[in-house]
Amino acid sequence: MKFIAFWEYNAEDTVKCIEKLKQAMTERERGTESLAKLIFGPYNFSGKTKGFSVYETDDPDKLMNVAVFYMPEMRWKFIPIIETGKSAELWLKMKK
């Protein structure tokens, strides 16, 4: 399943967040499977200390691991997303 993750941090924590991002990327390159798979991003909103990423996982614990990895500097919100075609298909099934 895919999740869009919205994140934010305080400006004074920027350097710490960059260092943690580098650590997370290194862990992924090593093949660590404790974190959800990053499939898009991360992207910053221009001029802001917030942004989003898209993750893919069937294990919600891996999403929690992402949030915990970046704590306490970053705050996270994960929202499940599905393709519109699949959403429409499920909606029509439920209405029958």
Q: What is the pLDDT of residue 31?
A: 87
Domain 2-95 falls in which CATH fold?
A: Alpha-Beta Plaits (3.30.70)
- Distance from C-alpha of 72 to C-alpha of 25, rounded to nearest angstrom: 18
Q: By C-alpha distance, which of 61, 44, 52, 43 is closest to 81?
A: 52
Q: How does DSSP classify residue 13?
A: G
Structure pTM? 0.86
Mean pLDDT of 65-79: 96
Question: Could you report the per-residue pLDDT of 15-59, keeping only the tens digit for each?
Answer: 999 999 999 999 989 988 899 999 999 999 999 999 999 999 999
Tokens of 18: 């960059």
Residues in the chain: 96
pLDDT value of residue 32? 85
Question: Directed axis angle between helix 14-29 and helix 60-70, to 10°?
Answer: 140
The residues spanned by each domain of the chain are: 2-95
